[in-house]
């Protein structure tokens, strides 16, 4: 650790706390610092969590297992342990297992292993174990349920059913909490924001055009690690909702979306209580955004703005996440006839393939077979006629 960098990263702290399990003789401090500094915050958090899990497992074994350099046999046992689960831990999904191994491989490279000999994570038995678990589970990575706007995107289409942006916005009242939630929902959908981009939005990032629409400057994102920045278009409706929230909250700088603290006074002589709202200074967290979304879904159901099959409320809410806004806008743009390249550019997807993967459910209903057979087999004919 250099003199001008007194605070160590979470990755370095975890490694330091488990020093007996890590052979760091080949490590170069500057290489470790540079590698950690180059990581995006989400990547750093994921590697820290993966590393902490693996190190704890190594420490729990009898005899204790060396974590770095790892032994391929140990990695196989670790994968089976993760995939099996326990009474207090759900079985890890294949995608999670692959990420754990990738994090272990990255730490090995950072600490100087793999330059002259293959990494233990590249051993045939490790790759075969991952394949076997994936084959056994046959599980496609779960996609966040889409939050579509709520209107037909093209002539002849039916409007989407279930939870929609329109339904959520209708559930937001005119109080300060309702104004914040409406602005958050509207902005997240319009710009197709990742949750990190949503909670990172600041007042200085917003600007308004003469036609009433707006622009959101996104300084950093998952696919923009160099910080070149991007601009997202915002509808006049979203700009109006943002203005209402910022005016009511008194926020003039810093994070746009923050926690609202409620202070309830003691009962007066008539037994009545009053509430005062205080706006926090720190931005909302990922968990805060998800909590707002799920609360609004239940309120939209209670108010009749969203109709679901009886008993489906819990499953529907659990299927939604902060990523649902982005998936919903992607599907709406696809339904409107936009191509994958245009969608990827507008929503800052890494490639058109990624964008179309999130629209694959709609693609099934719009592919060649659906168009042709939909006309021939519309239910009007009889079998054998």
C-alpha pair distances (Å), 57 with each of 20, 89, 90, 156: 14, 13, 16, 56
More confident residue, 147 or 230: 147
- 380: pLDDT strictly greater than 60: no
Backbone φ, ψ for residue 342 (5° rounding): -65, -40
Distance CA 332, CA 355 (A): 12
Strands 214-218 and 230-234: antiparallel
pLDDT band at 222 (very low <50, low <70, confident <90, very high): low
* pTM check: above 0.75: no
Q: Residue 75 is encoded by which pair of tokens?
A: 């990695």
pLDDT tens-digit map of 263-294: 877 777 777 777 788 898 999 999 999 999 99
Region of poorest pLDDT, from 99-103, 240-244, 327-331, 350-354: 350-354
What's the mean pLDDT in 124-149? 83
Q: Residue 365: which pLDDT band, with cuts at 50, 70 and 90? A: low
Instruction: Note the pLDDT tens digit of each residue in 239-260.
Output: 999 999 999 999 999 999 999 9
- Does the pLDDT at position 201 exceed 80? yes
Instruction: Tell me how far apart the alpha carbons of residues 225 and 203 are, in angstroms, rounded to a whole number.
Output: 22
Per-residue pLDDT, 368: 54
DSSP type of residue 276: E
- Higher pLDDT among residues 142 and 319, named by residue: 319
CA-closest candidate to residue 292, choices 265, 266, 259, 264: 259
Of the candidates 223, 258, 253, 265, the one whose C-alpha atom is nearest the C-alpha of residue 349 is 223
The 10s digit of each residue's pLDDT in 174-186 is 999 999 999 999 9
CA distance 121 to 68: 11
Lowest mean pLDDT among 77-91, 213-227, 290-304: 213-227
Domains of the chain: 10-137 (1.10.150.130), 165-369 (1.10.443.10)
């Amino acid at each position: 650790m250099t003199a001008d960098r007194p605070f160590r990263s979470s990755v370095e702290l975890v490694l330091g706390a488990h020093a007996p399990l890590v052979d760091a003789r080949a490590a170069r401090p500057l290489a470790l610092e540079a590698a950690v500094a180059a990581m995006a915050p989400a990547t750093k958090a994921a590697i820290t969590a993966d590393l902490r899990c693996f190190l704890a497992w190594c420490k729990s074994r009898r005899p204790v297992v060396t974590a770095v350099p790892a032994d391929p046999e140990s990695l196989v046992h670790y994968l089976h342990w993760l995939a099996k689960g326990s009474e207090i831990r759900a079985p890890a999904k294949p995608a999670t297992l692959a990420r754990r191994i990738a994090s272990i491989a990255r730490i090995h490279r950072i600490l100087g292993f793999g330059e002259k000999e293959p990494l233990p994570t590249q051993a045939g038995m490790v790759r075969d174990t991952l394949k076997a678990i994936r084959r056994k589970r046959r599980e496609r990575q779960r996609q966040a349920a889409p939050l579509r706007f709520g209107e037909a995107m093209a002539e002849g289409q039916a409007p989407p059913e279930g939870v929609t942006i329109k339904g959520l916005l209708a559930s937001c009242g005119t109080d300060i909490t309702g104004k914040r939630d409406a602005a958050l929902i509207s902005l997240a959908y319009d710009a197709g924001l990742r949750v990190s981009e949503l909670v990172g939005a600041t007042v200085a990032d917003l600007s308004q055009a003469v036609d009433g629409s707006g622009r959101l400057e996104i300084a950093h994102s998952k696919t923009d690690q160099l910080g070149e920045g991007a601009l997202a278009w915002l509808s006049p409706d979203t700009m109006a909702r943002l203005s209402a929230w910022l005016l009511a909250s008194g926020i003039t700088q810093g994070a746009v979306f923050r926690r609202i603290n409620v202070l309830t006074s003691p009962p007066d002589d008539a037994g009545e209580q009053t509430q005062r709202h205080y706006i926090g200074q720190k931005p909302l967290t990922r968990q805060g955004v998800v909590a707002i979304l799920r609360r609004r879904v239940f309120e939209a159901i209670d108010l009749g703005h969203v109709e679901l099959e009886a008993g489906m409320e819990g499953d529907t809410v659990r299927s939604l996440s902060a990523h649902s806004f982005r998936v919903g806008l992607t599907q709406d743009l696809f339904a409107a006839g936009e191509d994958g390249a245009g969608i990827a550019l507008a929503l800052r997807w890494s490639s058109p393939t990624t964008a179309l993967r999130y629209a694959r459910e709609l693609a099934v209903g719009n592919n060649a077979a659906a168009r042709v057979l939909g006309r021939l087999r519309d239910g009007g004919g009889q079998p054998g006629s």
